[in-house]
Structure 1
């Protein structure tokens, strides 16, 4: 930071001139180019406005999409060094995001994007479009509710600091180094998370699957227990105080292996028409948007009965409910489940399909031993998986802090 301070002191000791973006750049509005125009094969490089905040970073020298030469003729041209800024998004954070084009050839962009042609350092400008200073200004300019918009005309009025090019390049050099460090650390932490999850799944599957242990019998679930479908209620029936309930969607979005309390309740006047899981039952999601979600389960360990949705089954057996719930997360169960899931837009599992799935049936003492081990390991893994994402967030916040510090200047007096 001291080197940057020295350069600023040398080149702009009295402050930095702030100018309207429209006074230092030409803003060209894009047009056309729906996603149907994009191809992944060769052609003219193209950046769609939605890709700016989902696929690109501060700069790019290659594109992930192309358009045909015929289509490119009618689109806004982007020359090397230009910026592309998105004018539309679903939130204030993404609207106004920029990518500096540093490729060797001209490319194109379409509607809901603005091309900024300028004589500044392109990466300096692109970093600035991620700064708190710009965010404050665009937030005041943004309009819309469901779709947020900041027009090219509005962008032209944004005030931006314009330090000398040498200062811009020095700042870019520091931010590039910090960005590389952030990316490297983030990848390492994400790899650590993935590795720990993979090892946990292997350990869990080995424990509940009893792979290679021929002394453990494997029995169709329908032979040692019964599946009972829940009864219909809707989200409109939810109340703050009422009958404890489990909705199928909550099983794969909120609950873990087991729970003794619910996050939702339904109206008490529905009591006669509902169907209930008893303590010790396992509640299974019979419907999901993916094959992975359908068949997920939670062991109900509360002190009272709980109403279950009609897209759930309760499984009642003499097995340890947490052992069953852990097994229903495992690879051996998922390998069998896939054969019985209907592959429509909404994935479904029937009670007949579930009843055919084989489950290991060790002794009661062995089930308790497996559950105790997995409870301890799960707790340790969950603690680590809370720490590591927090570390990733901290690294990103640290980078944002330095970005804002480097891009904040004393304004030159008029």
Structure 2
């Protein structure tokens, strides 16, 4: 029997009290502190945005400070209090919390609540990460673009309240898990970066042509080169209930296109220059932030006018090989662009050179690069999948530790 099991068997064998957060503490809203007020020294301060981007489940030190005179006008969190970011554009991040376990009070910004309570601060911080808390809070989130939750709503959320000795042991276990996860993540990220570097070197080697390789251009190995169009935005009948995928350059990012964010109607394709292109084209973004990036489409679709769509001649070249070549040449192709965003045009894309070995050799090169690419980048294979699996394992044990039978009254 583990230590936590022994404690539960000795201290709460029949279950534990389940209480609303409002019964074990009080919520106070932060005030006044804005990001521009933060300094590198002075009185400790936590801005709600930093809870989303910087802090973990608990902290002893603050990243930022405010002038001591300003701190006198601000809401303070005392050591042991929970600080909660109550707004976000993402529901999952609403009510992200960190326990303040420093030795002195800290100032807290608006769009944050301070929860003063009677529990182990790290126990309640871990509870705010749990599936139980996430499920309960979802019914209280309000707002459209900016999503938020109030202190009154959080006060209704139910938390199991085991004896403090059990809370301390749960915290010890979860702190250990958290440290192990952080160490593993750093190790795997380092390994992943090594794989990326290895892949880059391997890619360069595979795509370096031999001296007798025939050279051509992207235009010459294509049966058709086209761009698309943007159907009039003032025509709702071009977009409402649309079923035809319409690709924009911001979706072109060295990837395979299997769907698009916007669909257009058959009428839009008839009355504009946004025409369907077949699957397995090589699509190059010509201007905008993604200029010179490349994608391939696994579905027939239409594109906007900033896409240069290369329908590769299958008797001459493998579209996957062409995709990898253009991807590898991103910096060189982008360098041909003009203006602050390195804008290209169809003429420059069509005239861009490409080595053309035998089809068999192209297919071998493409297959090798596809395999290595998946190993490095795909969450369903290789190191990212291992990291994701470990996170899921941690979340499972965290939820299990924070689940208790309710004590019958």
> How does the TM-score come out when normalised to structure 1?
0.79
1:373–1:223 Cα change, 3 Å: closer
Partner of 1:18: 18
User: Contact (CA 8 Å) 1:27, 1:114: kept in 2 or not?
Assistant: yes
Structure 1: give runs of 5+ residues left out of the alignment.
none
Higher mean C-alpha deviation, range 91-100 or range 21-30: 21-30
Please give the secondary structure, in 2, of the residue aligned with 1:349.
coil
Residues 1:328 and 1:377: Cα distance change in structure 2 (over 3 Å): closer
Tell whether 2:362 aligns with 1:361: no
* SS in structure 2 at match of 1:171: helix
User: In structure 1, what is the equivalent of residue 336 of structure 2?
Assistant: 340
State the alpha-carbon separation in 2 of the partners of residues 193 and 224 from structure 1.
35
Shift of 1:91: 3.5
Equivalent residues of 1:251, 1:285 under 8 A apart: yes
Of residues 305, 308, 326 in structure 2, which corresponds to 1:310? 305
Mean CA deviation greater in 13-22 or 269-278: 269-278
Question: Could you tell me whether the CA contact under 8 Å between 1:196 and 1:381 is conserved in 2?
Answer: no
Structure 2, unaligned runs of 5 or more: none
User: Per-residue displacement from partner, 1:177-209 (whole Å, max 9, x unpaired)?
Assistant: 222233333333444443333322321222224
Cα distance in 1 between the residues matched to 2:312 and 2:137: 59
Matched, 1:178 2:148: no
Cα displacement string for residues 197-237 of structure 1 (whole angstroms, at most 9, x for unaligned residues): 33223212222244xx6666877768998995524134874
1:404: Cα distance to partner?
1.7
**Residue 232 of structure 1, aligned match among 224, 229, 232:** 229
1:379 to 371, 384, 400: 371
Within 5 Å, which residues of 2 pair with 1:15-414? Answer: 15-39=15-39, 41-210=40-209, 230-234=227-231, 237=238, 247-252=248-253, 255=256, 267=266, 270-271=269-270, 273-274=272-273, 282-289=282-289, 293-298=290-295, 308-315=303-310, 320=317, 322=319, 323-330=321-328, 333-342=329-338, 344=340, 348-351=343-346, 353-354=348-349, 359-363=353-357, 365=358, 368-379=360-371, 381-382=373-374, 385=378, 386-388=380-382, 389-414=384-409
Deviations 1:297-331 (A, max 9, x none): 346799xx97543111245788625343221100x
TM-superposed CA distance for 1:402, in Å, is 1.5
**CA contact 2:25–2:115 (8 Å) conserved in 1:** yes
In structure 2, the residue corresponding to 1:146 is in which secondary structure? Answer: coil
When residues 206 and 69 of structure 1 are mapped into structure 2, their CA distance, relative to the original with a 3 A threshold, is: farther
In structure 2, the CA distance between the partners of 1:76 and 1:347, relative to structure 1 (3 Å rule), is farther
User: Could you tell me whether the CA contact under 8 Å between 1:216 and 1:360 is conserved in 2?
Assistant: no
2:187 & 2:339 partners in 1: Cα distance?
36
8 A contact 2:254–2:327 mirrored in 1: no
User: What secondary structure sits across from 1:373 in the alignment?
Assistant: helix
Asked if structure 1 preserves the Cα contact closer than 8 Å seen for 2:81 and 2:116, the reply is yes
Change (3 A) 1:28 1:287: same
CA contact (8 A) 2:224 2:312 kept: no
What is the TM-score with the length of structure 2 in the denominator?
0.80
Cα separation, partners in 2 of 1:160 and 1:251, compared to 1, 3 Å: closer
SS in 2 for 1:413: coil
Q: CA deviation at 1:106?
A: 3.0
RMSD: 3.7
Alpha-carbon offset, residue 172 of structure 1: 0.7
How many Å separate the matches in 2 of 1:306 and 1:29?
50
